[in-house]
Amino acid sequence: MSAQIIDGKAIAAAIRSEIKQEVEAMKAQYSRVPGLAAVLVGERKDSQTYVRMKKKACAEVGISSFGHDAPADISQAELLTLVQDLNANPDVHGILVQLPLPDHIDEEAIVGAVSLEKDVDGFHPINIGRLSMKRRDPLFVPCTPKGCIELLDRTGVAIDGKRAVVLGRSNIVGLPVAMLLLHRNATLTICHSRTKNLPEVVREADILVAAVGRPEMVRGDWIKPGAVVIDVGVNAVDDPTREKGYRLVGDVAFDEAKDVAAAITPVPGGVGPMTIAMLLRNTLEGARRTLAGG
Ligand code: NAP
């Protein structure tokens, strides 16, 4: 048996086209479109690429994007002022501070300064706190975890009552995706670097979400036959046959797992495209809430 390949690229494209239509409807109703401010500090190549991709995706669906590129030596106070100005700007419905920030900046203070109503990354401690509590809906859910659940939903995978195992407990992926699965009534196990008998625990999963950042760590014989595997990992491994000298692989050994699982996301082309689609959706939701309220 070979697993169904969950095509994140196609699902994300469908979501973007839905968002485009919703933005057009908003424009017709309010003569306004959603606006996303992207704050980039310094000149990290990967961060520049992510911000460029996000701005391009905004343009494609009709969302305005405002780039704010700050030098790497910007002071904490100047960066805070920039965030506060964006909080006050009525054309901005979402603020994205591209992480990581330089070492001299207190990341927690900057993320915490973003207005709750514009926290489209969903990283504000109050949004994360609400996500972790029962019946306390956050205003925004972090994009990659939200994308994982959307992939399950759009593939028709039932979550209620299933055994879910999340590999990884980071603030940006593991922890929030675990909370989302719990709210959807999965019976949940969270694994991390201190977990004993990891393969045995992973083998209990009807739904496995892997977010560890270790290339192909999860082998085929760790997977329960018929499980659904969402592979968040993006890892570059040397590959002299490729022009760039490397290729991207997930946290799961795809070729082994696809013979055991019922469905699996590829890397690339699985969770990755969903992250940006969910950022667009969060920005649209933020704009809708603001326009409906004021
Ligand atoms: P992270 O902050 O480094 O967290 C990794 C987690 O994995 C930690 O909880 C760690 O445990 C656990 N871990 C590490 N080694 C382990 C091992 N040998 N056995 C069991 N658990 C282990 O990483 P992250 O930011 O969550 O990202 C995870 C992966 O997802 C990366 O490959 C990243 O590139 C990718 N990612 C993809 C997207 C996307 O859009 N597709 C978005 C974000 C991240 P401890 O807590 O005990 O240290």
- What digits encode the pLDDT tens for the residues 162-203? 999 999 999 999 999 999 999 999 999 999 999 999 999 999
In the chain, the largest separation of any two C-alpha atoms, in whole Å, equals 58
**pTM beyond cutoff 0.75:** yes
Instruction: Enter the tokens of residue 289.
Output: 């809430």
Q: Quick check: bond before 266 cis, omega within 30?
A: no
Q: Which residues pair with 230 in a beta bridge?
A: 209
Gap between the Cα atoms of 212 and 217, Å rounded: 9
pLDDT at 185: 98
Q: Confidence band (pLDDT; 50, 70, 90) for 37?
A: very high
- Å from CA of 271 to ligand 1 middle: 14
- Å from CA of 173 to ligand 1 middle: 8
Taking residues 271-281, what's their average pLDDT?
97
pLDDT, one tens digit per residue, over 14-33 is 999 999 999 999 999 999 99
Taking residues 73-101, what's their average pLDDT?
97
pLDDT at 294: 56
Torsion of CA 18, 183, 250, 152, to 10 degrees: -40
pLDDT at 265: 98
- Name residue, tokens 């008998």: 197
Amino acid (1-letter code) at residue 283: T
Instruction: Enter the tokens of residue 22.
Output: 């919703």
- Å from CA of 84 to ligand 1 middle: 31
pLDDT at 32: 97
Taking residues 122-142, what's their average pLDDT?
94
Q: Quick check: bond before 268 cis, omega within 30?
A: yes
Whether residue 37 contacts residue 66, with contact meaning beta carbons closer than 8 Å, is answered with yes
The residue annotated as part of the active site, out of 7, 118, 119, 121, is: 121
* 48 catalytic residue (yes or no): no
What is the residue-averaged pLDDT of the chain? Answer: 97
Helices (H), the chain: 8-30, 45-61, 76-88, 107-113, 125-132, 143-154, 174-183, 198-202, 254-257, 271-293
Residue 293 reports pLDDT greater than 90: no
From the DSSP assignment, how many helices (H) and strands (E) are in the chain?
Answer: 10, 11
Percent of the chain with pLDDT over 70: 99
Residue 1 reports pLDDT greater than 80: no
pLDDT, one tens digit per residue, over 246-272 is 999 999 999 999 999 999 999 999 999
Residue among 193, 219, 282 whose CB has most ligand 1 atoms within 8 A, to mutate: 193
pLDDT, one tens digit per residue, over 196-247 is 999 999 999 999 999 999 999 999 999 999 999 999 999 999 999 999 999 9
* 98 catalytic residue (yes or no): yes
* 119 catalytic residue (yes or no): no
Taking residues 105-119, what's their average pLDDT?
96
Distance of CA 100 to the CA centre of its chain: 15
